[in-house]
Structure 1
């Protein structure tokens, strides 16, 4: 993708590759990159030109993202805005919602949060209990969300709520576009063991009023909105974890002599990252060809656990030298969240068991 490489050469600092660790947390660079990539049509290149894309095919768009991973492009300032909220607004939003919200969400001008996970339900959306009662054109929302990434920065949230408590769990859910500045919304950041690139938050919703025209998609159709949104997130997650695993392994690959046990772990880690890349490419090809497959179910679990093993190996190989370079500890701390965000490993194993292997659903 020569044109995209040229774009990256133009917008990234000349010393970006050499000083990558320093630039990783540069908020201004991340903000400017997301805006520039959108303006040039490279952020979501499969979209139409009038929407901020380049009308590329699926394989061409994936090639752009792979080039970005190879070049270790800056992490988007608001990944869930461009990767989840914007596609949902594009697919399910009313013309008024699209006109007001789509471009700022994709470009990063406004920060979005995803109101999915809940205490006691975790990543299991069907078990959510946050309620929304519709009366006189207004939803009244009560409940709590947790692990809400960038909830303390967000202007908007795609909030999943239960609007029909009598329906089967998957069929009584709706998605609302929540203004995070609404009365009754309380956001509390969750303290982490170290400095995180993005914050995690709890969100409390006490008699929050949301207008009926903030409904995204159909009433009680929120499950379909969520599944379609996460379909767009699928490639984003495996590409990010592939990039993070390779970055975490880089110090080990350039380390001095390794023990036999460390060499074995390094070989397994490299095999895992290559398996992640090849499985990601295979599932994308199957999706484009309309070939039914459940291979995608392994991607999140394999990716997040590969990142953790790679970061731990590099930290152990560095030994006492790690105390002189905080990057080792940063990588390890960042990796610990990988098995939580985007769906916990426990939920991922349930998905694999039920959807891919056809095992009977567990009973409590």
Structure 2
């Protein structure tokens, strides 16, 4: 029954051409097209009830694609370069026809959602309107975020997310369009419930609850968690932090059932997989340390006469000289802070060791040199 769409297309194009020539009355043409659109919709809906579900789905989606192609074809006529005596009236008529065709597609979606193809791209006009809505909502949200005294990390997250949505080169699908309208409404409602200062972790939980599985948001979450882990004083604090974060993500209740991107994992599942990999990494550090201690390679707590800064410099020199080889400075720092103590501290924080590892103080360098000279003298005596 696709011939009905073909006939409908011919009717619409004929009316546009006649209108251009000034040979028809607006009301008569409008009534004729509206009457035909209702007849076609009634016929489509009736026929879909007479066939098997699989055939009905194919039938509906065939007509959906036909209507979408017709929408794009009619929209393109607005931008024709040929001059017309009454261009404004012509464009107004085309705009009305496009709205009518859009309504037919919406009727298919509302009456037969199970058969409707939500992966189908929206029309060019719908895409343009959606981009305008994204820009408008983005401005409102950024203003509200700044009013809530959000930190720069949160502001940058929203700015980049909105930029990515605005710069999207393809067309959004019907499902993505439906999602984005719900997404922006939900964010604006949620922000009205927050009190300043707005915390980045609150935004993570909010966007996870909205099922926003955009790649940039995922990478932002991972980067944020990694920075927080780096700021921990020791591996025990890292364990506590990462398990607490895992608990928060696992308990998030999703308020939007569909994800932003259908072909990507749900955002909570993706973040939880990243967290599990970080937990496995921390466990591997403990395992390596236990194996070395059990094998007698190092004492479980090895005390040195250096200060923390001197020990860090001494370890750094061994790495640069090739005595100690490691692909992960972070792993080395965690091992040293777990198994070494100094004259000034029984427990070395990973953060203080890391800062000392990459910083040099003249008096500390001199102290390390003195110890190395003593080592050289001992070695010479053994020759």
Q: So what's the TM-score if we normalise by structure 2? A: 0.24
Pick the structure with greater CA Rg: 2
Greater per-residue helix proportion: 2
Q: So what's the TM-score if we normalise by structure 1? A: 0.25
Greater per-residue strand proportion: 1
